[in-house]
């Protein structure tokens, strides 16, 4: 079990997971705001 834990939770994998969670959080928190720059030409 310790060997599997060491393989899965390497430094690079943790950084990738952290980056993925940050991107998901950005998408979730900015989804409710309407992009006004799209509608400026109309």
**Cα 27 from Cα 20, distance rounded (Å):** 11
How many angstroms separate the most distant Cα atoms in the chain?
A: 59
pLDDT, residue 33, reads 64
From the first residue on, what is the mean pLDDT of each consecutive set of 10 residues in the chain (42 residues)? 80 94 90 68 62
Which tokens hold the place of 33? 């705001």
pLDDT, residue 4, reads 82
**Cα 11 from Cα 19, distance rounded (Å):** 12
H/E run at residue 6 = helix 2-8
**Cα 19 from Cα 7, distance rounded (Å):** 19
């Amino acid at each position: 079990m310790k060997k599997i834990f060491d393989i899965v939770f390497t430094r690079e994998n943790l950084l990738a997971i952290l980056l993925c969670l940050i991107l998901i959080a950005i998408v979730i928190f900015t989804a409710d705001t309407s992009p006004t720059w799209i509608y400026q030409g109309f």
